[in-house]
Structure 1
Amino acid sequence: MTSPTTLLTDGQWADDVLLPYRPYATDDFERGQRRRSRETALTMRYIEHSPHALLGSIVVDCDHPDAAMRAFERPRDHPTPSWVAQSPSGRAHIGWWLASPVCRTDSAKLQPLRFAQRVEAGLRACVDGDFAYGGQLTKNPIHPSWETIYGPSEPYELRDLVTVHTPRQMPRRPDRAAGLGRNVTMFDTARVWAYGQWWSHREGTARAWDQLILQRCHAVNTEFGVPLPFVEVRATAQSISRWVWRNFTEEKYRARQAEAGRRGGKVVSPAKREANRKRATKIDVNALMEAAL
């Protein structure tokens, strides 16, 4: 006889599922969002379920009045959600809790994040979720504004969330990126650009290099339909800039250029490289950072 499944609870969600120590939270998006103490954030309607560095849950916005039915009705082609927080209209945020959080800030280890991106896209397709959902804040499952239905109390491994709708690859164009796809696209676009820029800036300061990469990441971010929060852009830029600055040498740079040439990669002319640099550096980083505070 199969033992009944233990369901997630409010207490377990607040203590185990919620990752940020000081989450962003708000009661009204028009008033903006701010970091709060964990205790205060848990009293608010919308809350950050994962910090910018670690993805602890995959959340999909289902903008349909029968969201809970789409999430739990059988037969279905996706795993049972960990929770569904729905509004009186029936629209809901559907979440799957991950056993192993995925790092979003290490440019040297993109494979897990790419996999998570594909898994998220598959789950979104299963419930016909909103492509434009930013993914940072979710309906707080323990807030009285929402009716929450809990699923299994055990977290999922990413591989267990693969469905028949999980794509084999994702589009790379920024204007087609959504959810986790924005993180992956920013990583891929900015880090490849940084590799080519290192030679021209290798004799400068680490601070100037950090600002250059931040400017490039922000330029990529402006192409997304729903841009990432500045804190995530800054974290991505720091990860890329520090890794390249720490690991690149003249020998490694030349070896990479030779490999690109061997594979038929196009050689970027000095004029083109300078045009790219000017386009990326026209953004005022100090103004961006002040706006984010």
Structure 2
Amino acid sequence: MDFSGASLLSDEQWGSEVLLPHRPFATNELSHGQYRMSRDDALTMRYIQHSPHALLGSIVIDCDHPDAAIRAFEKPSDHPTPSWVSQSPSGRAHLGWWLGSNHVCRTDSARLTPLRLAHRIERGLCISVDGDFAYGGQLTKNPIHPDWETIYGPADPYELRDLATIHTPRQAPRRLDRSAGLGRNVAMFDTARKWAYPQWWSHRHGTRDQWLQLVLQQCHGVNTEFADPLPFVEVRATAYSIGKWIWRNFDEDTFRARQAARGRRGGKASAKVMTSAKIEANRKRATKFDEKAMWEAII
């Protein structure tokens, strides 16, 4: 770990710039629950919420190995140096990469591309350090708390794209029962919006509030399938983002045009499949006929 000449993150900078929530959730014991409190009080707790529900300001990985700091800074893979590592006496640690002002919105259905990239980045970093894929990512070991040994990395924040490694997958898995971390947000968006688009037609004569409640119920159902469900406030924000976008952008003409376009795409695909199927069926029939004629001629 050679940081000579580099400007390093500090306790003061972490508490004033990296920590985003105005009233973060925090606790001294995870088994006792977490509670929202002022920043000053939260910074005295052992575990703290580093990013608010709506915005992702840091990517944090749980490295459940006694050599977590070595995995973080000696870089056996090609991952960038973490902004901080908060290590317990056992050596296990939380590794954080600070995004600075390059926040990723977790609840905006109109901007799914950065969230999907963040999900892939998170997964790639987790593979690089052999982290815990089941880690929910909301609370992290508070780097300022004296119970943890904290090693700080570069003081400058990262661009999201700078955190890509050879382990960053081209596509992350989206099975609901296997979704964790940012994968839950992506899976909820994709599942709920695909359900909501065709449902709008049947509920277009109701009120917007009725429609939002319907989408919220669907998102809640998706959330119950996660091993570690998202907080309700995040589920509600996601549902309202999807519902409001559809309610604002859909009308009967738009919906009919969209369905017609989907039908044309589906028809072309079906035609290709049918053509291939017909060719194969004709070939089999021709082969069968030739064999029968041959045996009749011989006999």
TM range (shorter): 0.7 to 0.9
Cα offset for 1:192?
A: 1.3
Distance 1:50 1:262 in 2: 44
Distance 1:57 1:210 in 2: 30
| Code of the aligned partner of 1:77 | D
Distance 1:166 1:113 in 2: 14
Distance 2:243 2:207 in 1: 12
In structure 2, what is the equivalent of residue 259 of structure 1?
A: 261
In structure 2, what is the equivalent of residue 161 of structure 1?
A: 163
What per-residue deviation string (whole Å, max 9, x for no partner) do you get for residues 29-50 of structure 1? 2221111111111111111111
TM, length-normalised to structure 1: 0.87
| Code of the aligned partner of 1:198 | W
* Pair 1:232-2:234 in alignment: yes
Cα offset for 1:176?
A: 2.0
| Code of the aligned partner of 1:87 | S
SS of equivalent residue, structure 2 residue 215:
helix
**Structure showing greater Rg:** 2
In structure 2, what is the equivalent of residue 56 of structure 1?
A: 57
Aligned-residue CA RMSD (Å): 1.4
In structure 2, what is the equivalent of residue 202 of structure 1?
A: 204
What per-residue deviation string (whole Å, max 9, x for no partner) do you get for residues 222-249 of structure 1? 1112111111111111111111111111
Distance 2:249 2:75 in 1: 51
* Pair 1:135-2:123 in alignment: no
Distance 1:48 1:255 in 2: 44
**Could you tell me which of 190, 193, 202 is aligned with 2:192?**
190
**Could you tell me which of 113, 116, 120 is aligned with 2:115?**
113
Distance 2:151 2:178 in 1: 32
* Pair 1:32-2:27 in alignment: no
Give the gaps of 5 or more residues in structure 1: 266-293
What per-residue deviation string (whole Å, max 9, x for no partner) do you get for residues 116-151 of structure 1? 110000000000000100011111110111110000
| Code of the aligned partner of 2:132 | D
Cα offset for 1:75?
A: 4.8
Q: Relative to 1, partners in 2 of residues 1:64 and 1:75: Cα closer, same or farther, differing over 3 Å? A: closer
Moved over 3 A (4+): none
Query: Is the deviation greater in 247-256 or in 68-77?
Result: 68-77
Cα offset for 1:108?
A: 1.1
| Code of the aligned partner of 2:6 | T
Cα offset for 1:263?
A: 2.2
Distance 1:250 1:194 in 2: 15
Distance 2:128 2:182 in 1: 17
Q: Relative to 1, partners in 2 of residues 1:261 and 1:43: Cα closer, same or farther, differing over 3 Å? A: same
Q: How many residues align?
A: 264
Distance 2:163 2:49 in 1: 21
In structure 2, what is the equivalent of residue 82 of structure 1?
A: 83
| Code of the aligned partner of 2:230 | L
Structure having the higher helix fraction is 2
Distance 1:3 1:224 in 2: 44
Q: Percent identity?
A: 73
Cα offset for 1:68?
A: 0.6
Distance 1:52 1:191 in 2: 20
Distance 1:43 1:129 in 2: 26
SS of equivalent residue, structure 1 residue 264:
helix
Give the gaps of 5 or more residues in structure 2: 268-299
Distance 1:79 1:218 in 2: 36
Matches within 5 A, 1:139-154: 139-154=141-156
| Code of the aligned partner of 2:74 | E
What per-residue deviation string (whole Å, max 9, x for no partner) do you get for residues 251-272 of structure 1? 111122112212218xxxxxxx
Distance 1:43 1:235 in 2: 29
Distance 1:191 1:170 in 2: 18
Distance 2:68 2:264 in 1: 51
| Code of the aligned partner of 2:239 | A
